[in-house]
């Protein structure tokens, strides 16, 4: 499967970001991509840095005008698209949602399960926790597991997606450095982010593809986030097949040999050796 990575920066203009994404999809399609992954909330600035009701203006329905436009492109280009969007549901409920679009149209949605609430990542103000469960979608006769950003820190999300049949886990992402922390712990944060996802690939015998934003995005308080890029592809052995730079846009197609997964899973049968009879403790939020 040929997977297209679309790492780029965003502006404050919704239409500009949408047009940029369309150009990127066409660019990657010309390079032979069959599956194209866009960054988290690529159609907007990362508005979650502050709690401002005005930002609900960015939300859109799914399906809607933009997903209809993406569906036309997917059909014309014969590609699958992972599009993370700010979804307005009814009645006045909002989600951080992946619209999964194939040459046959909008196949379905995944709504971000784990919602952070940290300085400059005030997502609980905007997004309800996902209510659709974990999802896998077909691309070229294989199954893709769609997760979003903060989900990437939780092994349960990766494991369940793999158990549902996913051979590739994709994570549209918006993560970066607080400028006042970067010098002290920025490198440690980046390495932790890379390594936890490499572990998901190994433990589940899957490819992992993570696509991040880049660029400094200011907020209304005079501060901001420097999104650290470093979009990457990792194979089931945890080897990094490609890693983007932290400060440059990157549009590249990586060919994944999915045939190696059967050999990997046969040699390291982690699914076989699970002790599901002993895992009930994981259903508790605490040990109390």
Angle at 174 between CA 171 and CA 179, to 5 degrees: 145
276, 23 contact by CB (below 8 A): no
64: left (phi over 0), alpha (psi -120 to 50) or beta: beta
Marked catalytic residue, from 40, 87, 123, 217: 40
The kind and range of the H/E element at 93 are strand 93-102
Instruction: Give 39's DSSP letter.
Output: P
For 194, list phi and psi in degrees, rounded to 5. -65, -45
Marked catalytic residue, from 112, 123, 135, 142: 112
> b or e along 110-141 (b: 16 or more beta carbons within 10 Å of the residue's beta carbon)?
bbbbbbbeeebbbbebbbeebeeebbbbebee
What is the number of other CB atoms lying within 10 angstroms of the CB of residue 156? 12
Q: Is 149 a catalytic residue?
A: yes
User: What is the CA 133 to chain-centroid distance, rounded?
Assistant: 16
Marked catalytic residue, from 80, 149, 167, 217: 149
Q: Is 40 a catalytic residue?
A: yes
Query: So which residues are the catalytic ones?
Result: 40, 112, 149
């Amino acid at each position: 499967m040929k997977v297209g990575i679309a790492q780029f920066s965003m502006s404050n203009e919704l239409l500009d970001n949408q047009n940029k994404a369309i150009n990127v999809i066409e660019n990657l399609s010309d390079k032979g991509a069959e599956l194209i992954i866009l960054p988290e909330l690529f159609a907007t600035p990362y508005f979650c840095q502050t709690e401002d009701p005005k930002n609900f203006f960015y939300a859109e329905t799914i399906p809607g005008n933009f997903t209809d436009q993406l569906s036309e492109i997917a059909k014309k280009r014969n590609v699958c698209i992972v599009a993370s969007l700010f979804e307005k549901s009814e009645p006045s409920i909002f989600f951080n949602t992946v619209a999964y679009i194939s040459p046959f149209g909008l196949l379905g949605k995944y709504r971000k399960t784990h919602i952070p609430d940290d300085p400059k990542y005030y997502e609980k103000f905007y997004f309800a926790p996902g209510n659709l469960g974990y999802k896998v979608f077909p691309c070229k006769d294989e199954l893709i597991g769609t997760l979003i950003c903060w989900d990437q820190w939780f092994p349960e999300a990766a494991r369940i997606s793999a158990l549902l049949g996913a051979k590739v886990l994709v994570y549209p992402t918006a993560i970066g450095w607080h400028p006042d922390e970067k010098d002290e712990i920025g490198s440690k944060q980046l390495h932790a982010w890379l390594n936890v996802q490499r572990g998901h690939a190994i433990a589940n015998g899957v490819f992992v593809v993570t696509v991040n934003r880049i660029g400094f995005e200011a907020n209304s308080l005079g501060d901001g986030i420097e999104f650290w890029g470093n979009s990457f592809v990792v194979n089931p052995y945890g080897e990094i097949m490609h890693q983007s730079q932290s400060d440059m846009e990157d549009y590249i197609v990586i060919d994944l040999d999915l045939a190696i997964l059967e050999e990997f899973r046969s040699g390291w049968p982690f699914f076989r050796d699970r002790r599901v009879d002993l895992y009930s403790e994981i259903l508790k939020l605490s040990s109390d």
